[in-house]
């Protein structure tokens, strides 16, 4: 049996037969104006986490985690800045310890700036390190008005793809999660309606469809 790593979100872990296979890369695609960060916050409660922020400061990330009412851990947060963000990210990833979480938030900065060959090499190195350490990588991919040209490459490398769609329906905000890709396991066929307010829950007010 492949070792499964919990996401910290019970509804997902049940549907994924206990979690995500160790050594996996997950691409979480979501609109910028969504509560997708709740997925990242709850993940930090499962095991040691290295959070690499490519835009917001480390102080801003830590403050958001401390203020969220959901259960969280105490991740190591690093702001990746400078003129070589891909190289700097790669150096930090190479030091990731065994059985850890890695969050890259958002990956768009690298997808938009780097040549395809360098980005592909980075993703290959990332995949090798995550497998060797039996860790879990979550790549936060903004699915907004301007999707980076290398997003296809990201989703091709990813072992698991979470697609979160958020839309306003009348006086309600509706969130739907699809998992169209799941290497090493069985992808759920159904779309999961979620209630994303203070934590990630199934929306039981309407039929799941």
Decide: helix, strand or coil at residue 93: helix
Predicted pLDDT of residue 195: 87
pLDDT at position 179 is 96
Tell me how far apart the alpha carbons of residues 137 and 92 are, in angstroms, rounded to a whole number.
Answer: 13
Q: What is the pLDDT of residues 29-75, one digit of tens each?
A: 999 999 999 999 999 999 999 999 999 999 999 999 999 999 999 99
Gap between the Cα atoms of 36 and 28, Å rounded: 8
CB neighbours of residue 117 within 10 Å: 8
Cβ–Cβ under 8 Å, residues 119 and 155: no
pTM of the model: 0.93
Nearest by Cα to 76 from 92, 99, 91, 87: 92
In the chain, where are the structural domains located?
Answer: 4-157
Q: Average pLDDT, stretch 5-15?
A: 91
Domain 4-157 has CATH 3.40.50.300: yes
- What is the C-alpha separation between 103 and 93, in angstroms, rounded? 10
Q: For residue 82, is pLDDT > 50? A: yes
- pLDDT, average across residues 21-28: 98
């Amino acid at each position: 049996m492949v070792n499964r790593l919990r996401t910290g979100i019970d509804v997902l872990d049940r549907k994924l037969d206990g979690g995500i296979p160790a050594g996996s890369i997950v691409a979480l695609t979501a609109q910028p104006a969504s509560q997708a960060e709740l997925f990242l916050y709850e993940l930090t409660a499962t095991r040691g986490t290295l959070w690499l922020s490519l835009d917001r400061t480390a102080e801003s990330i830590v403050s958001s985690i401390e203020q969220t009412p959901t259960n969280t851990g105490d991740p190591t947060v690093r702001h990746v800045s400078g003129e070589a963000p891909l190289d700097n990210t790669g150096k930090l990833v190479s030091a990731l310890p065994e059985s850890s979480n890695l969050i890259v938030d958002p990956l768009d900065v690298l997808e938009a700036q780097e040549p395809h060959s360098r980005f592909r090499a980075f993703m290959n190195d990332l995949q090798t390190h995550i497998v060797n350490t039996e860790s879990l990588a979550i790549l936060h991919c903004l699915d907004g008005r301007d999707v980076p040209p290398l997003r296809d490459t990201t989703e091709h490398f990813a072992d698991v793809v979470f697609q979160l769609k958020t839309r306003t329906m009348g006086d309600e905000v509706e969130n739907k999660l699809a998992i169209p890709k799941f290497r090493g396991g069985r992808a759920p066929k159904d779309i999961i309606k979620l209630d994303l307010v203070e934590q990630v829950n199934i929306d039981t007010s309407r039929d799941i469809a």
